[in-house]
A and B are shown apart, each in its own frame.
Chain A
Amino acid sequence: LAKTTQPISMDSYEGQEVNITCSHNNIATNDYITWYQQFPSQGPRFIIQGYKTKVTNEVASLFIPADRKSSTLSLPRVSLSDTAVYYCLVGDRNTGFQKLVFGTGTRLLVSP
């Protein structure tokens, strides 16, 4: 089971770039890395997913080094509305849904 480790919390200011790193030392060959965002009183929302190297979408970028033992979610120019909890997940559908484990996440606070 590929367990993930993230910082419990991070603080930033509006307009800054935020990088949240997730450690997953036991990641398996078939595992994908997925990040979700959760606002208070809402369900998590998919942000980005990747397998290796770099993935970018309209919301964020995901950097995955060659050994895939960690990944970094990058949020460019954050705003107050980016204050949320961010979860890093590692899992492979083909080996069992139980392996899609949400950790405690990283609580990001963006200040003016």
Chain B
Amino acid sequence: NAGVTQTPKFRVLKTGQSMTLLCAQDMNHEYMYWYRQDPGMGLRLIHYSVGEGTTAKGEVPDGYNVSRLKKQNFLLGLESAAPSQTSVYFCASSYIIGTGKETQYFGPGTRLLVL
């Protein structure tokens, strides 16, 4: 049981390039999330998914797109990278207990540097 894994661990992009970050979970969780964390800051929610084939915007969605074609995978895309997207990206998945209690399980993060 690997939990939540993220690919790649580190990437350097030039402004305007595109890339896709992959998140995979093997816990059969319905809910998946993408966050970004800037230095000295807390995590901010980019997009999330409540199930296969569904996605929704979070707090800071601009410049990102996501897809959830399979329940275990959640992809985050940057179509035209900008220096402001330099950050650490965390993926998480969760399940709901009973009447709404939720525990999110996080991946190890992807460090992205946009030059």
**A binding-site residues for B, Cβ under 8 Å:** 30, 32, 34, 36, 41-46, 49, 51, 87, 91-94, 97-98, 100-105
Q: Is the CB of B42 within 8 A of A49?
A: no
**Apart from A44-B104, A87-B42, what are 10 other A-B pairs with CB-CB below 8 Å?**
A42-B109, A44-B43, A46-B105, A87-B43, A91-B102, A97-B33, A97-B50, A97-B58, A100-B45, A104-B42
Chain B residues, Cβ within 8 Å of A98: 45, 58-59
Q: Is the CB of B58 within 8 A of A43?
A: no
A109 to chain B, nearest CB (A): 15
Given known contacts A98-B58, A105-B42, A43 and B107 CB-to-CB distance under 8 angstroms? yes
Task: Kindly state the separation between the CA atoms of A34 and B101 in the bound complex, as whole angstroms.
Answer: 9
B contact face: mostly helix, strand, loop, or mixed:
strand
Chain A residues, Cβ within 8 Å of B104: 36, 44, 46, 100
Of residues 45 through 66 on chain B, the ones whose CB sits less than 8 Å from some CB of chain A are 45, 48, 50, 56, 58-59
**B binding-site residues for A, Cβ under 8 Å:** 4, 31, 33, 35, 40-45, 48, 50, 56, 58-59, 90, 92, 96, 100-109
- Return the 5 tightest CB-CB contacts between A and B, nearest first: A43-B106, A102-B42, A102-B43, A46-B103, A43-B90
Q: Is the CB of B45 within 8 A of A45?
A: no
Q: Which of A45, A92, A97, A104 contacts B41 (CB 8 A)?
A: A104
A27 to chain B, nearest CB (A): 14
Given known contacts A42-B109, A43-B90, A92 and B58 CB-to-CB distance under 8 angstroms? no
Residue of B nearest to A49 (CB): B101
Residue of B nearest to A31 (CB): B100
Q: Is the CB of B59 within 8 A of A45?
A: no
